[in-house]
Amino acid sequence: MRDGDEDRGRLWYGPQPDVAGDSGYPDAPPRMGFFTDTSVCIGCKACEVACKEWNAIPEDGLVWTGMSYDNTQGLGADTWRHVAFIEQRKPFGGQEPGVAHEDVDVFAAAARLGTDASSPGPGATAPPPGRAPEGAPAGQISPLSPDGRTELRWLMSSDVCKHCTHAACLDVCPTGALFRTEFGTVVVQEDICNGCGYCVPACPYGVIDQREDDGRVWKCTLCYDRLGVGMEPACAKSCPTDSIQFGPLDELRERAQARVAQLHAAGVPDARLYGESPEDGVGGDGAFFLLLDEPEVYGLPPDPVVTTRDLPAMWRHAALAAGSLLALALGSFARRPR
Amino acid sequence: MSESGVTGDGVRGVRPGRQAPTGAGGGRRRHRRGRGEQPMVPDAAFSSYYGKPVLKKPTWKPLDIAGYLYLGGLAGASSLLAAGGQVTGRPGLAAPAKLGAAGAISLSLAALVHDLGRPARFLNMLRVFKPTSPMSVGSWLLAGYAPLTLTAAATEVAGRYRLLGSAATVASAVLGPAVATYTAVLLSDTAVPSWHEGHRELPFVFAGSAATAASGLALAAAPPAQAGPARRLAVLGAALELGAFRVMKRRMGLTAEPFEQGRPHLLLRAAEALTAGGAALALCCGRDRRLALAAGAALLTGSAALRFGVFHAGVASAEDPKYTVVPQRERLERRGR
Ligand code: SF4
Ligand code: SF4
| Ligand approaching nearest to the C-alpha of B125 | 2
Shortest CA distance from A192: residue in chain B: B124
Q: Which protein residue has the closest C-alpha to ligand 2 atom 4?
A: A199
Secondary structure of chain A in HEC code, one letter for each residue: CCCHHHHHCCCCCCCCCCHHHHCCCCCCCCCEEEEEEHHHCCCCCHHHHHHHHHHCCCCCCCCCCCCCCCCCCCCECCECEEEEEEEEEEEECCCCCCCCCCCCCHHHHHHHCCCECCECCCCCCCCCCCCCCCCCCCCCCCCCCCCCCEEEEEEEEEEECCCECCCHHHHHCCCCCEEECCCCCEEECCCCCCCCCCHHHHCCCCCCEECCCCCCEECCCCCHHHHHCCCCCHHHHHCCCCCEEEEEHHHHHHHHHHHHHHHHHCCCCCCEEECCCCCCCCCCECEEEEECCCHHHHCCCCCCCCHHHHHHHHHHHHHHHHHHHHHHHHHHHCCCCC
Q: How far apart are the first and last CA of chain A?
A: 63
The ipTM estimated for the assembled molecules is 0.88
Q: Which of A186, A293, A320, A333 to mutate against chain B (most B CBs within 10 Å)? A: A333
What percentage of chain A reaches a pLDDT higher than 70?
80
Q: What is the mean pLDDT of residues A114-119?
A: 55
Average pLDDT, chain B: 89
Q: Is the pLDDT of residue A99 over 60?
A: no
Centroid of ligand 2 to alpha carbon of B259 (angstroms):
28
Low-confidence ranges of chain B (pLDDT < 50): 1-19, 27-41
What separation in angstroms does the CA of B14 have from each of A7, A70, B7, B86?
A: 53, 18, 7, 73
- The verdict on a CB contact (< 8 Å) between A308 and B80 is no
Q: What pLDDT sits at residue A140?
A: 37
Q: Which residues of B touch A195 (CB under 8 A)?
A: 116-118, 121
Q: What confidence tens digit (pLDDT) does each residue in A239-264 have?
A: 999 999 999 999 999 999 999 999 99
Shortest CA distance from B137: residue in chain A: A174
Work out the pLDDT band at A103, boundaries 50, 70, 90: confident
- So where are chain B's domains? 62-320
Distance CA B156, CA B153 (A): 5
- The verdict on a CB contact (< 8 Å) between B191 and A201 is yes
- What CATH number belongs to A19-92+152-307? 3.30.70.20
Neighbours of A269 (CB within 10 A): 9
Q: Is the pLDDT of residue A193 over 70?
A: yes
- The verdict on a CB contact (< 8 Å) between A216 and B200 is no
Kindly report the nearest CA distance between residue B308 and chain A, in angstroms. 17
**Side-chain-side CA neighbours of residue A244 (13 Å):** 31
Neighbours of A286 (CB within 10 A): 26
A248 lines ligand 2 (CB under 6 A): no
Are A245 and A252 spatial neighbours (Cβ–Cβ below 8 Å)?
yes
With the most atoms of ligand 1 within 8 angstroms of its CB, the residue from A186, A218, A220, A307 to mutate is A186
Q: Which residues of A touch B328 (CB under 8 A)?
A: 301-304
- So where are chain A's domains? 19-92+152-307
Q: What confidence tens digit (pLDDT) does each residue in B257-310 have?
A: 999 999 999 999 999 999 999 999 999 988 999 999 999 999 999 999 999 999
Q: Look up the CATH architecture of domain B62-320.
A: Up-down Bundle (1.20)
Q: Is the pLDDT of residue A95 over 60?
A: no
Shortest CA distance from B132: residue in chain A: A171
Q: Which residues of A touch B77 (CB under 8 A)?
A: 325, 329
Q: Is the pLDDT of residue A98 over 90?
A: no
Average pLDDT, chain A: 85
Q: How far apart are the first and last CA of chain B?
A: 38
Q: What pLDDT sits at residue A105?
A: 76
Please tell me whether the overall predicted TM-score, pTM, comes out greater than 0.95 for this model: no
Residue of A65, A66, A329 lying closest to B84 (CB–CB): A329
With residue B219 as reference, give the H or E element that holds it: helix B202-221
Q: What pLDDT sits at residue A17?
A: 86
Are B187 and B195 spatial neighbours (Cβ–Cβ below 8 Å)?
yes
